[in-house]
A and B are shown apart, each in its own frame.
Chain A
């Protein structure tokens, strides 16, 4: 086994997770390799120093200092919730509007604007009623148009004007 693989075993040996056969391999190698023995020493110094138990304690009155912060944060929670939702809600609502518009435009059948029979005839400059004949034959364009409009309106309302 080469020194590279041994270094991995060496690292694992500090965690106590070596299998018995791995442990034997490591011991045999260490006996014959001064470089790996040196590495073992270095690891021992580093890991023993890191694993020293005299770690510092947190500052006094930890909970007493934490409690007012929790209360203060609680006040802001509804606002922050709304803030985070509103940020998401704006693009979301825009997307919904665009999607609805697309559905309306592309998928709903468009209603054809149906013209009444008389309107169709008038648009083609044909005479729907006998009484309009005189109007169509008039020369004044504005008068003619106005009369035609009234005629169609009366037709819709079911009224007929009498023209002698």
Chain B
């Protein structure tokens, strides 16, 4: 059965059809939430809530855009609401970035090279979190989720030109914040 038919059935309250859509999109929605929160538990909760919102908003969905795009928009808005309520991101500064020995417990068992890679990854992700929300979202959609400019424009309801300029500003901001931090780590990160 194609996606449109599944959406039509879900609109009528068919849970079976909706379950197929959930199974198709759960990983992408979870990853989108995770790339903005960096917390598995929270990302899982947010993904579930996004699906619940989508299910009850389905009667209003006119099928003008693709179901996936619509679902991503719901997720982005839901995560944005969560971040706004939490208020953590805007208050956080680079000074707050500290080593968290409990975050990656299983890393102790990894080889040294993997540990360095993991540390670099964590540092970059934590730095992304210090950016304004709109830059976090654009980086997540393009550089983590891999959406095209056109898809991002549809999800965020902005022009592709705006995607281009916002993405450039986000990357530039991230690079400026990260460069001194990565260098401070003693050249572990090839800088």
Report which A residues bind B (CB closer than 8 A). Answer: 7-8, 11-12, 15, 17, 39, 41-43, 45-47, 49-52, 55-59, 62-63, 65-67, 69-70, 73, 77
Contacts and interface: CB of A to CB of B under 8 A. Distances in A.
Nearest to B53: A73
B146 interface: yes
28 contacts: A7-B168, A7-B172, A11-B168, A11-B172, A12-B168, A15-B167, A42-B175, A42-B178, A42-B191, A43-B171, A45-B120, A45-B189, A46-B175, A49-B120, A49-B121, A52-B121, A55-B34, A55-B35, A56-B40, A57-B30, A58-B27, A59-B40, A59-B44, A62-B48, A63-B22, A70-B18, A70-B52, A70-B55
Contact of B149 (A15, A51, A67): A15
Interface residues on B, range: 35 or more
Nearest to B34: A56
Contacts of B31: 55-56
B51 interface: yes
Contacts of A12: 164, 168
User: B interface, by DSSP: helix, strand, loop or mixed?
Assistant: helix
User: A interface, by DSSP: helix, strand, loop or mixed?
Assistant: helix
B15 A42 contact: no
B51 to A, nearest CB: 6
B15 to A, nearest CB: 7
B155 interface: no
A45 B56 CA distance: 42
B52 A66 contact: yes
Contact of B56 (A62, A63, A73): A73
Given A58-B30, A63-B22, A41 B52 contact: no
B139 to A, nearest CB: 7
B15 A70 contact: yes
Contacts of B139: 50
B121 A39 contact: no
Contacts of B51: 66
Nearest to B146: A51
B26 interface: yes
A42 B47 CA distance: 32
Given A42-B175, A73-B52, 5 more contacts: A17-B149, A42-B178, A46-B175, A51-B143, A57-B27
A47 B172 contact: no
Interface in B22-78: 22-23, 26-27, 30-31, 34-35, 40, 43-44, 47-48, 51-52, 55-56
B48 A69 contact: yes
Contacts of B190: 41, 45
Contacts of B23: 62-63
Contacts of A62: 22-23, 26, 30, 44, 47-48
Contact of A41 (B149, B168, B178, B191): B191
B104 to A, nearest CB: 12
B144 interface: yes
A58 B168 CA distance: 30
B142 interface: yes
Contact of B19 (A41, A47, A67): A67
Nearest to A77: B56
